[in-house]
Amino acid sequence: MSLYGTMRTGVSGMNAQATRLSTVGDNIANASTAGYKKASTQFSSLILPSGQGSYNSGGVNASVRYSISDQGTFSYTTSDTDLAINGRGFFIVEGTDGVEYLTRAGSFVQLDDGTLVNAAGFKLMGYPYQSNVDPTIVINGFDGLTEINLKGGGISTNPSTAGYITANLPANEVVPYSKATSLVAFDSQGNTRKLDFTYTKTGDNAWSVTASYTDPTTSTTTTVLAPTALTFDADGKLETPAAGLLQTDELTISGAVLGELDIDISGLTQTGKGFESTGDINGSEASSAIGYEIGKDGVVSLKYESGELVPKFRIAMADVQSPDKLNPLAGNVYSQSMDSGVIVMGYPANGSYGSILSGALEDSNVDIAEELTSMIESQRNYTANSKVFQTGSELMEVLVNLKR
């Protein structure tokens, strides 16, 4: 046995325990860091070849492993832009260097320009939303991603396209009894346009209906629905039009377009009761964005003054085959490594990807009690290894002094 080898073995043990203490220090320091994944030190022995009657002491090798795939608990907050992932996957964020990274740290805040940035300064990325169409994803790259912006909505207009009228026409009135009612529709620029529907009795169980628009500035009246015959059966049920549907004409008003409207009149009746009418038309007037909502599926919708929710973005997510093999970087982000597997893109609540929790943060998966225990163990082991080194040094001194 070599005394120098014994001393080197003691040094190897001290270095290994120092590495373990370093990971413990990092874990304790980041115990309150949202989305932080703990590091742990694993040891393996180093064995040197030994000869007949002699033993060569080896040492210990320390390697660091990250528990990235272990999900932490959740803490709920009062901010809707605090986001957590319940399940597999990572947020895609962009650094100031223009490079995309993976992270589980979802403590995002809205900047003045509308972008969402987490505590480390990384911007949240996603896809523009398309109604009833899933995003076109480059499954092995970040092409097509854009910054999610909560101020990108501007002014919203939602033109009217359809509506309904439910009315009772009095059967006992005599020809040419007439009654009018109105509905408000919205043109292509979000202006309100009042349409007047007039019902005129033309005979037994027979009526006609017209619709018109009167310009309030010029008092000009334009017909948008020519006289249309309505007939009822003996029980007062609508017979014609058989489809129970009216369609108004398109109308241009001061440069804006009030499009064709499909009006459902299947609820019309003719009875001995007096005239009464209800109805509604879809669409809304022009309004500004006043808030936002983020759904479990990662759809980011802007909320407008009219109460309308308009989807604008869909949060992007990514995953790899071996998350624990990702490269950890400063800012609680990760990049692909040779051992992690390729990055596969997707979006929340789809396939194996987790869902989004708005108003929540994923806690660090560090257990303080476990880390303090590891710290005490490392301290004791470091001391023991130093004693091995000290003993080897003392024996070397004895060997040198034999010559005296």
Residues 168 and 253 in one domain: yes
Residues 140 and 168 in one domain: no
Residues 146 and 293 in one domain: yes
From the number of C-beta atoms within 10 Å of its C-beta (0-12, 13-18, 19+), residue 369 rates as exposed
Token digits of residue 172: 């006992």
Given this model, what pLDDT does residue 50 score?
72
Residues 141 and 175 in one domain: no
Separation CA 132–CA 95 (nearest Å)? 31
- Of 282, 302, 322, which one is at a domain's C-terminal end? 282
Given this model, what pLDDT does residue 139 score?
62
Is residue 133 very low, low, confident or very high in pLDDT (cuts 50, 70, 90)?
A: low
Residues 228 and 114 in one domain: no
CB 258 within 8 A of CB 241: no
Q: HSE on the CB side for 142, CA within 13 Å?
A: 19
Q: Which of 200, 191, 196 is nearest to 263 (CA)?
A: 196
Q: What are phi and psi of 98, to 5 degrees?
A: 80, 10
Residues 373 and 317 in one domain: no
Given this model, what pLDDT does residue 7 score?
86
Residues 207 and 278 in one domain: yes
Name the residue with higher pLDDT: 333 or 57.
Answer: 333
Given this model, what pLDDT does residue 305 score?
80
Token digits of residue 303: 């909320």
Residues 139 and 253 in one domain: no
Give the tens place of pLDDT for each residue, 226-244: 999 999 999 999 999 999 9
Separation CA 108–CA 34 (nearest Å)? 11
Separation CA 361–CA 76 (nearest Å)? 6
- Of 236, 259, 282, which one is at a domain's C-terminal end? 282
Residue 252 has a CB neighbour count (10 Å cut-off) of: 11
- Of 258, 282, 306, which one is at a domain's C-terminal end? 282
Given this model, what pLDDT does residue 92 score?
96
Residues 132 and 171 in one domain: no
Cis? peptide before 241, omega within 30° of 0: yes
404: pLDDT strictly greater than 70: no
Residue 58's domain spans which residues? Answer: 3-67+365-401
Beta bridge partners of 361: 75
Give the tens place of pLDDT for each residue, 183-213: 999 999 999 999 999 999 999 999 999 999 9
Write out 324-386 in H/E/C secondary structure.
HHCEEECCCEEECCCCCCCCEEECCCCCCECEEEECEEECCCCCHHHHHHHHHHHHHHHHHHH
* Dihedral sign, Cα of residue 99, residue 100, residue 103, residue 106: positive
Place of tokens 């400063």: 330
Domains contained in the chain, number: 3
Is residue 48 very low, low, confident or very high in pLDDT (cuts 50, 70, 90)?
A: confident
pTM for the model stands at 0.72
Residues 41 and 92 in one domain: no
Residues 185 and 100 in one domain: no
Instruction: Collect all residues with Cβ–Cβ distance below 8 Å to 288 and sequence separation of at least 6.
Output: 154, 155, 156, 304, 305
Given this model, what pLDDT does residue 90 score?
96
Q: What are phi and psi of 77, to 5 degrees?
A: -125, 180
DSSP per residue over 100-133, as a string?
EEEE---B-EE-TTSBEE-TTSPEEEEEE-BTTB
Q: HSE on the CB side for 159, CA within 13 Å?
A: 14
Residues 358 and 371 in one domain: no
